Amino acid sequence: MTDLPRMQHIVASGLVAAVGVSVTYVSFTQEPAAAFLFPRIISTVFVVLALWTFGKALLGRTRVGNGLDLEAMINIAPGLVVSLIFVFWAAQSLGFYTASTIAFFVLLSLYDPAPHGELKSWIKRILITAGFLVVMYGLFAKLLSVFTPREIFF
């Protein structure tokens, strides 16, 4: 029987591989094909790495640590919730750039160790988020000409 850390690695890498396969499938079945060139390249690389990691986990050829304890899972949970809301609702409903900005700001606020009671730390978070939005827009809209989910704001 496998030990708990190895089983956690198998399950986690299996879930990531399943997501990778599904994202790759979606990217190769959507039209217009030109709009999905960048997602196809990224998803293909992602699924190859994910399947490789899953295969290594199944064969027991990965170096596994102690697995995730309850404290680590509690620390990860808010980011996972924000990510799921972004992927399954916000990106399509609010528009990619608006939803990305909100998700980034929420994640930055959750995980930034700076005090939440100081105005200076909130200004820093807002400036970092604005910089993130500028980079995202420049990268996806201008440099790569990638089609993004569009709705009320962008």
Of 67, 95, 119, the domain-final residue? 67
Q: Considering the chain, what is the average pLDDT of its residues?
A: 85
The per-residue pLDDT for range 42-72, each reduced to its tens digit, is 889 999 999 999 999 888 887 766 666 788 8
More confident residue, 148 or 12: 12
Q: Considering its fold, how many domains does the chain have in total?
A: 2
Residues 91 and 128 in one domain: yes
State the pLDDT at residue 148: 67
Of 49, 67, 85, the domain-final residue? 67
Domain that holds residue 115: 68-154
Residues 59 and 73 in one domain: no
Contact criterion met (CB below 8 Å) for 133 and 97: yes
State the pLDDT at residue 1: 44
Residues 80 and 61 in one domain: no
Residues 7 and 61 in one domain: yes
State the pLDDT at residue 151: 56
The DSSP string of 84-151 is HHIIIIIHHHH-HHHHHHHHHHHHHHHH--S-TT-HHHHHHHHHHHHHHHHHHHIIIIIIS-------
* pTM, rounded to two decimals: 0.66
Residues 3 and 50 in one domain: yes
User: Which strand (E) or helix (H) includes residue 44?
Assistant: helix 37-59
State the pLDDT at residue 94: 86
More confident residue, 135 or 2: 135
Residues 127 and 106 in one domain: yes
Residues 31 and 77 in one domain: no
Of 36, 67, 98, the domain-final residue? 67
The per-residue pLDDT for range 76-133, each reduced to its tens digit, is 999 999 998 988 888 778 888 889 999 999 999 999 999 999 999 999 999 999 999 9
Residues 57 and 125 in one domain: no
Residues 47 and 75 in one domain: no
Residues 75 and 60 in one domain: no
In this prediction, residues 9-23 reach a mean pLDDT of 88
152, pLDDT greater than 80: no
145, pLDDT greater than 80: no
